[in-house]
């Protein structure tokens, strides 16, 4: 009995050892398969990055990054301490401006280290906390077909213009619906792609935030544009930088209605949403990061944005920042040149100076 018991025990031990060895072998095999899968997935992603045109990848990441920046802007407002700094006359900067820009530039630089990025708030600390570093791109945008003329671009062809919080004065005064996040993509001097995010846009159901994009040759997304009535002229202009030149232009155009709002991004949205026909601003008050994204989005929808003399601004990396000749934008349903012809010579002379 004792011998049989020992034999039985020995068999059990050998059986257990075999099972253990089999399990260890399976674990090794699983790790090999998993490793191979990870290598395959990594190679697939790298291959995918190489096959998806850079402009599409830049736009897709800009969409999700602008959305994240909008959340940061709301978070700063909720905390109640804006930490306002006065950069110049009527030129404020808040903690929301600084934080949103760090999020945007850190995220885009991480993915596109060789592309020039210019932000309104100057140099930014790119060492941001993990939840500010956006890694996911907008999957729906990546389903779009890239325009043929934009498929073979080099990194040096790009300049990204960032206004992390357009409408800072309005933000500090509580006009939150005027606030936008602007990411403009310029290719060889021209505004080609743009993202406009509204942190405080209220969607059906009460959820906040809306992101609109535009890419020339592709169109726009994020909402359905509309147009104002044809039997009247509605103009949107500045609410905080009014001047004799602005008044003279309005007098000459004789609009049926004038809508005064803050921020270049929000003014262009008035055109895209069918609330106004034209955006008239004969003042040297805005800069390239204010107009690059709005110009691209508006023109992707058939509109036009130029200076007050009818020339497009250049957006290369070496250009001066101020838009010294003001802004004129039209929605594509009225004649841009006809509006230009009505601007008084006295106003144009101020712009030429």
* Catalytic center residues: 97, 168
- Rounded to the nearest 5 percent, the helix, strand and coil shares of the chain are 45, 20, 35
Q: At 330, list the tokens.
A: 């039209």
Strand partners, 159: 116, 186
Q: How many CA atoms lie within 13 A of 207 on its CB side?
A: 7
Q: Which residue has the tokens 């080609």?
A: 192
CA distance 214 to 218: 8
Q: Are 330 and 308 in contact (CB under 8 A)?
A: no
CA distance 352 to 174: 35
Closest CA to 302 of 256, 280, 334: 334
Instruction: Give, rounded to a whole angstrom, the gap between the first and last alpha carbons of the chain.
Output: 113
């Amino acid at each position: 009995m004792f011998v049989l018991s020992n034999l039985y025990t020995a068999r059990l031990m050998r059986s257990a050892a075999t099972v253990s060895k089999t399990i260890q072998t399976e674990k090794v095999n699983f790790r090999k398969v998993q490793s191979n899968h990870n290598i395959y997935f990594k190679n697939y992603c790298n291959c995918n990055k190489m096959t998806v045109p850079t402009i599409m990848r830049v736009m897709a990441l800009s969409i999700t990054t602008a959305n994240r920046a909008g959340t940061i802007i709301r978070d700063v407002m909720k905390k109640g301490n804006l930490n306002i700094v006065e950069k110049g006359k009527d030129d404020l900067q808040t903690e929301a401006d600084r934080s949103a820009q760090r999020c945007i530039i850190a995220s885009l630089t991480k993915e596109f280290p060789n592309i020039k990025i210019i932000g309104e708030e100057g140099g930014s600390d790119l060492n941001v906390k993990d939840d500010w570093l956006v890694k996911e791109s907008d999957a729906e945008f990546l389903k779009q077909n890239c325009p043929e003329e934009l498929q073979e671009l080099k990194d040096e062809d790009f300049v990204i213009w960032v206004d992390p919080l357009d409408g800072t004065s309005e933000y500090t005064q509580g006009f939150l619906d005027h606030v936008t996040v602007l990411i403009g993509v310029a290719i060889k001097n021209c505004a080609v792609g743009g993202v406009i995010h509204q942190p405080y846009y209220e969607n059906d159901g009460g959820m906040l935030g809306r992101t609109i994009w535009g890419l020339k040759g592709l169109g726009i997304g994020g909402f359905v544009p509309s147009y104002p009535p044809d039997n009247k002229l509605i103009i949107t202009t500045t609410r905080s930088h009014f001047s004799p030149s602005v008044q003279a232009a309005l007098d000459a155009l004789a609009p049926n209605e004038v809508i005064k709002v803050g921020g270049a991004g929000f003014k262009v949205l008035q055109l895209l949403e069918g609330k106004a026909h034209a955006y008239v601003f004969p003042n040297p008050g805005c800069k390239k990061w204010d107009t690059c994204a709005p110009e691209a989005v508006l023109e992707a929808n058939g509109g036009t944005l130029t200076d007050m003399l009818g020339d497009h601004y250049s957006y290369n990396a070496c250009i001066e920042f101020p838009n010294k000749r003001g802004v004129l934008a039209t929605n594509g349903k009225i004649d841009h040149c006809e509006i230009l012809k009505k601007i008084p010579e006295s106003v144009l002379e101020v712009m030429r100076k």
